[in-house]
Structure 1
């Protein structure tokens, strides 16, 4: 009779130990996923990453009739638009486009 009680107690303690491991692992996984999920995605992944803020100035005289300025951060000719947003929009379903500035007429 003593052996049956020991086996029962051993099974119960193993079950509790396993349940604790599963719940602890689930809690840790949830916490890690929650922390990673709440990070805001970085839009700019290549333009002047060493600077706190990217600022480009363009003289109004250089605009001419009109210029397109990049707003997707993917242009190879930044700050000017080179159409890189078209591929980005197709891949992500986004609708970003250039800022078009017209000069005086």
Structure 2
């Protein structure tokens, strides 16, 4: 079976048998190359960019008795008052589309 178009180009069954695998392999290769290149361009970044960078691990510990009625702690690592929240997460969320907020610890009402 041959299909003849107005341009005079003749498309046969043999043409399909060659063209389909070539198209599939080309599409798969293009997809894999695009995934590889996009993975390379998306550099993984650190969350903590400024707090205690000379320390191998940043850890803060607080006694519940020292907290008072309420304490608000930073979870975005952008606070100038770290480990306490100064509202820097609002700007971070706006710039990145993230939804991080503070950790709020308060005494339970009796």
2: distance between equivalents of 1:60 and 1:50?
28
Higher relative contact order (CA 8 A, sep 6+): 1
**Structure 2: 5+ residue stretches without partners:** 1-35
Are residues 50 and 33 of structure 1, via their aligned partners in 2, closer, same or farther at CA, if it must alter by over 3 Å?
farther
TM-score, normalised on structure 2? 0.59
Aligned length: 75
What is the match of residue 12 of structure 1? none
Q: Would you tell me which structure has more strand in proportion to its own residues?
A: 2
Following superposition, which runs of at least 4 residues in structure 1 exceed 4 angstroms of deviation?
31-36
1:62 aligns with 2:66: yes
| 1:45 match | 49
What is the CA-CA distance between 1:36 and the residue it aligns to?
Answer: 5.3
Q: Does residue 94 of structure 2 align to residue 90 of structure 1? A: yes
Displacement of 1:103 in angstroms is: 2.2
Structure 1 unaligned blocks of 5 or more: 1-30
